[in-house]
Structure 1
């Protein structure tokens, strides 16, 4: 990636970044010939389990960042990509570093949820030509992991939802992992909350807006309680977003995403604890997932 730097520039510091699950993230500090520094971000796939998907993920992110470069969505600028490790030791992508930081605290969640909703509406409004690849869902009725303390009857009914037909939909650009851990906010404590960027576009896809909304709803339900999952879906529509008109379709996508989380809920929550949310114990997160599934399966929660 050194060939991407301007003549005379050099890397003076490398700092690991938290939050990455499938790839290693590093902030690079570059000293410029003008006498000041700038920051870049390097995403690298090194683990054997992630290497088999590295090329696909990097090609998706490459295409997504290229597509977003002319949109209103604040995303990193793509600088270089080596999806097959032809020039780097490992498959890698280099991009600009955005200001701000992730905010996962309980304080201020009511102010942040509408901002998250409006940001997702903007993402779904992006015009894409060519379109990203179709969305993927890996979860099946046979791969769901039912928590030990869960209501078995409710979960059995939820799993049956996956056995039903996939609802029809009008496709849009999806982030596919839109959630608080991938959204940056102004780091100034005294400032009115505002989003400064959206990161991690490795899963960018084409599919139903319901799926992106469902994913953020699941994350908010686990971070802050089931009621925030429902609140986010409402905020999305209040911001002009369009979801399926059919109640069954809405339930399908939300249940599908929540059940997908069951397979690796502890993997999801580990970065949250590392970021300071030590209250999110394995038991609490599983209990919140159980409560959220129950809410989705209750007609009053649709």
Structure 2
């Protein structure tokens, strides 16, 4: 029996057992830190006298499901496609439920990966290089037939930063650039939510990339930009620039940098009043405030606009 205090309903536990092997026994359940969009649990099973760890993700956000009812299917297909990445470990799909009929919500069951999230690295350059090299491996996956495509999260034309930013006019300049002509780009398989809290480390090396529900076809610059704006908030624009330099080094001629995509991902974060990401605090980051995040977004914006001068 499952120890008391766990949060998985009986029907979910039964689905896990039935999916993996009817003779399996659930030994323990542990909710993993960092996930804010949907609960993720590590489930330890006993199977034929051996222990086996699997990871369960349940999609319980009603608003998210209304807007994207195919979340489980999308992550399942993203995992299948991501498994082709060379030199990058990703969870392997075990099973998924696209509807709520079995588990009460759409659900994903996948293999676990070794490693831990690192947000305060002992060697910054090694950390940035590791994340950049792994991302290049993801972007090398052939996936032009993948059915999901990139779209911005926010409508830049309606953004208003006047309640929090020192540079509201500069934000409007950025919005004008983003709503103007979109540059051409090479179609890549992208993670779409690539940032340090979705990257696992072991022995000083990247051991896996997780959270594939947003996988799609789009410009490599969206993944690069999404990671950069996270780094700009966690640290500063200089660290974001160092990550860009590392990615350009590993990608070589396969990548042409355009700051347009940096602005697209930055506006995704600045569309609402800035706040400290809950995933960071759950993983032990301290010292950040909403005000600091706002100041860092402003500084990053100014650094990007200079690239258009």
Q: TM-score, normalised by structure 1?
A: 0.90
Shift of 1:129: 6.3
Cα–Cα, structure 1 residues 133 and 233, in superposed 2: closer, same or farther, change >3 Å? same
- What is the number of residues matched between the two proteins? 291
SS of 2:28's equivalent in the other structure is strand
8 Å CA contact retained: 1:217, 1:232: yes
SS of 1:114's equivalent in the other structure is helix
Query: Aligned partners of 2:196 and 2:184: how far apart in 1?
Result: 28
Matched, 1:232 2:235: no
Shift of 1:298: 1.4
Cα–Cα, structure 1 residues 44 and 221, in superposed 2: closer, same or farther, change >3 Å? same
Shift of 1:16: 1.1
Matched, 1:243 2:255: yes
Matched, 1:120 2:120: no
1:56 to 70, 79, 87: 70
Query: Aligned partners of 2:73 and 2:274: how far apart in 1?
Result: 28
Query: Aligned partners of 1:68 and 1:264: how far apart in 2?
Result: 31
2:195 to 166, 173, 179: 179
- Deviation digits for residues 85-112 of structure 1 (CA, Å, limit 9, x no counterpart): 2322111000011000110115322210
SS of 1:136's equivalent in the other structure is coil
1:263 to 271, 279, 283: 271
Query: Aligned partners of 2:250 and 2:273: how far apart in 1?
Result: 29
CA RMSD of aligned residues (A): 2.0
- Deviation digits for residues 241-270 of structure 1 (CA, Å, limit 9, x no counterpart): 53336xxxx121101111111135656612
List aligned pairs for 1:70-85, cutoff 5 A: 70-72=84-86, 73-85=88-100
Unpaired segments ≥5 residues, structure 2: 1-14
- Deviation digits for residues 208-242 of structure 1 (CA, Å, limit 9, x no counterpart): 11111111111111111111111111111111253
Query: Aligned partners of 1:97 and 1:205: how far apart in 2?
Result: 22
Q: TM-score, normalised by structure 2?
A: 0.88
Query: Aligned partners of 1:84 and 1:150: how far apart in 2?
Result: 45
List aligned pairs for 1:37-116, cutoff 5 A: 37-53=51-67, 55-72=69-86, 73-105=88-120, 107-116=122-131
1:194 to 165, 188, 205: 205
